Structure 1
Amino acid sequence: MRTLGGRYRLVHRIGVGGMSEVWQGHDEVLDRAVAVKIMSPAVESALEGMTGTELVRTEARSAARLAHPNVASVHDFGTAQSPGRDVPYIVMELVDGHTLNDHLNGGALDWQIGVRICAEVAAALAAAHAEHVVHRDIKPANIMLTPAGAKVLDFGIAAAVGTPDPDPEGPVMGTPAYVAPERFEGLPATPATDMFALGVLLYHCLTGRLPWHADTQTGLVEAQRYADPDPLPPIEGLAPEVIDLCSRCLDRDPLERPTALVAALLLAESVDARVYVPLVNPTLAAARPQTRSTWDQRAAEAPTDAALPAGGAPEPVSPGASGREPGATGHGPADLGADERSSAERVGRHRAG
């Protein structure tokens, strides 16, 4: 069997995509199962100049900073010898379970399950965005459902906020059905592009289909860029705030989309769930430029009901960090603020009161 870096023995191939292939491997040093993603040589040869190796190394370093229960961890980076070139690979946590795509093949999910999954995905994105990392390819095939909750995969091909694609004239990175319309205009990936994908994911979970009807990939891209999504059908018990959130995520204007932090808190409260969200230092948040939608601005006018500890770097909030009983809260979804600071002031791990 092939061994990479004198350490990672490839056991069997898990899947193949347009950019890479993924193997289940075994770390001979730490004696543990891992997932190994190897970039396709065809993609490597197309990334001239900076080279795919440098690109993937940079992105792997960004992804390795993420430590969150809903994110599959990145363990290592290396290069494998291939005729005429070094091909980069990323070693990641091997997650047991089934993908969300497998479950959606059977149709729409129970709305409470779908909302809970999307709350956990939003929490993972909030943690990534707090580290200035965007995923770029949120889709059902990159969400693994485990007994412990949802895990977002493929942060190994994430990028820093605002990073341009390596080949501006080439295809947009990501899965067309989940790619935000501004990406087709050549704009770099931002947290708002991840939020568009989250909106598509939420819609797909609730309805079993995409928000637009199209017979071809080209028709789907045209619909995403120029047509309004189909409204959600009536779903008994689904909170109006969730419907509104889904609509805002799918807005063609990136500035009208909510933040991942707001989405995580609102979705979690609507199904009485708990999620980990980043705690943001108010001084750092004030110093960092913020892009806020009109929807976020309206939500931010709601009075806060919990104080953020002074000082300290951003960190995940654990149960009871708000000073209340674990899981308790004194506000409803409509009271959630939208920028990072006002949202974090409202409690880290949330459930409906």
Structure 2
Amino acid sequence: MRTLDGRYQLEQRIGIGGMSEVWQAHDTVLDRPVAVKLISPGRGEANSVERIRTEARSAARLVHPNVASVHDFGASSMPPGRSAPYIVMELAEGDTLAAHLRAGPLDWRIAVRVCAEIAAALAAAHAHGIVHRDVKPANVMLTPSGVKVLDFGIATSADMPDDLPDGMVVGTPAYLAPEQLDRRPATPAADMYALGVLLYYCLTGRLPYRADSTSELLGARRRQPPEPLPPVDGLPPEVAGLCEQLMADDPTGRPTSLMAALLLAEAVDARVYVPMIDMSPPRQREGLVSPWTEQAATDATQVAAVGDRPAGPGRDRAS
């Protein structure tokens, strides 16, 4: 069993990407499960390690119920005399949104609640000047207590240029904003475009572009705007309008993460934690139930006495 810095025992690989892999691990010092993201060294290794360290420090300052926390940063030794940075994060229990979407679109009430909590997480990040750059279903975990947005450990500061070779971009092609395809610096508006694509996917079970391959997708992205959201039975018109606005070609025409979080939460009578509105930690919840069920979606929209409402993510029982 491989151990990093004599502390983190790597137990099982749970994810792999082009430049990194994620392991379920055990922190032997604090005796707790964690997730460890190993990042492959790139060109200009010394600068790359320092850049990732700086970004991890910024992400570690994010404290929000919908953000998977960053615990630690280090660099593991690799032959010959090289080092690979790693980031230690909270191990969120549950399934990714991508896994849920394999079965088809979500009930609109669940989709809106999920995206409200993602928007709240982004609002907290944007308030700290942090842009995620890779908002997608695989980076969203649905846990018994609500949404956890993953991978803030490799986010970047707003307006920072990408130091990647020509022809490469950071992120997942289907969720990249038009300005990201042109290699312009990342801004919070880029995250909002990705949220719009994700909301569309949750509501319809497909992307707002017709393509069978990445090359076709990129070509379609440059030739035509996203397809309009088809009718969704029961979906409030303001949510449909928000989805369209989030995918606006002009970044200045997209709503902010704070505006999106509040509008989406209001549509399903949910409570979210956003900067300067309510960043206090939630009180102890009793009788917590999973929000990812049809019954929870129904309960979220029923008009009932406060004391009779079931607890859910971001909602407290009356004291």
Residue aligning to 2:197: 200
1:318 deviates by 6.0
Q: 2:163 aligns with which of 163, 166, 176?
A: 166
1:45 deviates by 3.1
CA distance in 2, matches of 1:262, 1:201: 17
1:103 deviates by 0.5
1:350 deviates by 9.3
Residue aligning to 2:55: 59
1:17 maps to amino acid: G
Residue aligning to 2:148: 151
Report if the CA contact (8 A) 1:249-1:258 is conserved: yes
Instruction: Report the 3-state secondary structure (helix = DSSP H, G, I; strand = E; otherwise coil) of the residue aligned with 1:77.
Output: strand
Q: Which runs of 5+ in 2 are unaligned?
A: 284-313
Q: 2:95 aligns with which of 90, 94, 98?
A: 98
Residue aligning to 2:21: 21
Residue aligning to 1:73: 69
1:316 maps to amino acid: M
Instruction: Report the 3-state secondary structure (helix = DSSP H, G, I; strand = E; otherwise coil) of the residue aligned with 1:273.
Output: coil
Label 1:65 to 1:88 Cα distance change in 2 as closer, same or farther (>3 A).
same
1:206 deviates by 0.2
Report if the CA contact (8 A) 1:8-1:27 is conserved: yes
**Deviation string, structure 1 residues 279-303 (Cα, Å, up to 9, x no partner):** 17xxxxxxxxxxxxxxxxxxxxxxx
Q: Which runs of at least 4 in structure 1 moved beyond 4 Å after TM superposition?
A: 317-320
**Alignment TM-score, normalising by the size of structure 2:** 0.86
Identical counterparts, % of pairs: 63
**Deviation string, structure 1 residues 190-225 (Cα, Å, up to 9, x no partner):** 100000000000000000000111122122122223
1:319 deviates by 7.2
Segment drifting more, 218-227 vs 100-109? 218-227
**Alignment TM-score, normalising by the size of structure 1:** 0.78
Instruction: Report the 3-state secondary structure (helix = DSSP H, G, I; strand = E; otherwise coil) of the residue aligned with 2:42.
Output: helix
Is the counterpart of residue 184 in structure 1 residue 181 in structure 2? yes
CA distance in 1, matches of 2:73, 2:163: 19
2:279 maps to amino acid: P
CA distance in 2, matches of 1:119, 1:224: 26
Q: CA RMSD in A?
A: 1.8
Label 1:240 to 1:350 Cα distance change in 2 as closer, same or farther (>3 A).
farther
1:149 deviates by 0.6
1:148 maps to amino acid: S
1:70 deviates by 0.3
CA distance in 2, matches of 1:3, 1:50: 23
Instruction: Report the 3-state secondary structure (helix = DSSP H, G, I; strand = E; otherwise coil) of the residue aligned with 2:269.
Output: coil
1:173 deviates by 0.6
Residue aligning to 1:140: 137
Residue aligning to 1:33: 33
CA distance in 2, matches of 1:80, 1:318: 35
Instruction: Report the 3-state secondary structure (helix = DSSP H, G, I; strand = E; otherwise coil) of the residue aligned with 2:211.
Output: coil
Report if the CA contact (8 A) 1:269-1:350 is conserved: no
Residue aligning to 1:236: 233
Is the counterpart of residue 118 in structure 1 residue 81 in structure 2? no
Segment drifting more, 115-124 vs 211-220? 211-220
CA distance in 2, matches of 1:253, 1:29: 48
**Deviation string, structure 1 residues 298-348 (Cα, Å, up to 9, x no partner):** xxxxxxxxxxxxxxxxx715679xxxxxxxxxxxxxxxxxxxxxxxxxxxx
Label 1:316 to 1:107 Cα distance change in 2 as closer, same or farther (>3 A).
same
Report if the CA contact (8 A) 1:278-1:317 is conserved: no
1:198 maps to amino acid: L
1:239-254 map, 5 Å: 239-254=236-251
CA distance in 1, matches of 2:93, 2:116: 20
**Deviation string, structure 1 residues 122-179 (Cα, Å, up to 9, x no partner):** 0000000000000000000000000101100000100010111121524101011111
1:89 maps to amino acid: Y
Report if the CA contact (8 A) 1:279-1:317 is conserved: no
Residue aligning to 1:217: 214
Number of residue pairs matched by the alignment: 285
Instruction: Report the 3-state secondary structure (helix = DSSP H, G, I; strand = E; otherwise coil) of the residue aligned with 2:120.
Output: helix
Instruction: Report the 3-state secondary structure (helix = DSSP H, G, I; strand = E; otherwise coil) of the residue aligned with 2:76.
Output: strand
Instruction: Report the 3-state secondary structure (helix = DSSP H, G, I; strand = E; otherwise coil) of the residue aligned with 1:55.
Output: helix
Instruction: Report the 3-state secondary structure (helix = DSSP H, G, I; strand = E; otherwise coil) of the residue aligned with 2:62.
Output: coil
- Which structure is higher in RCO with an 8 Å CA cutoff and minimum separation 6? 2
Instruction: Report the 3-state secondary structure (helix = DSSP H, G, I; strand = E; otherwise coil) of the residue aligned with 2:29.
Output: coil
Label 1:256 to 1:74 Cα distance change in 2 as closer, same or farther (>3 A).
same
Segment drifting more, 8-17 vs 215-224? 215-224
Report if the CA contact (8 A) 1:35-1:94 is conserved: yes
CA distance in 1, matches of 2:12, 2:167: 31
CA distance in 2, matches of 1:252, 1:90: 34
Label 1:250 to 1:175 Cα distance change in 2 as closer, same or farther (>3 A).
same
Report if the CA contact (8 A) 1:277-1:317 is conserved: no
1:190-339 map, 5 Å: 190-279=187-276, 316-317=279-280
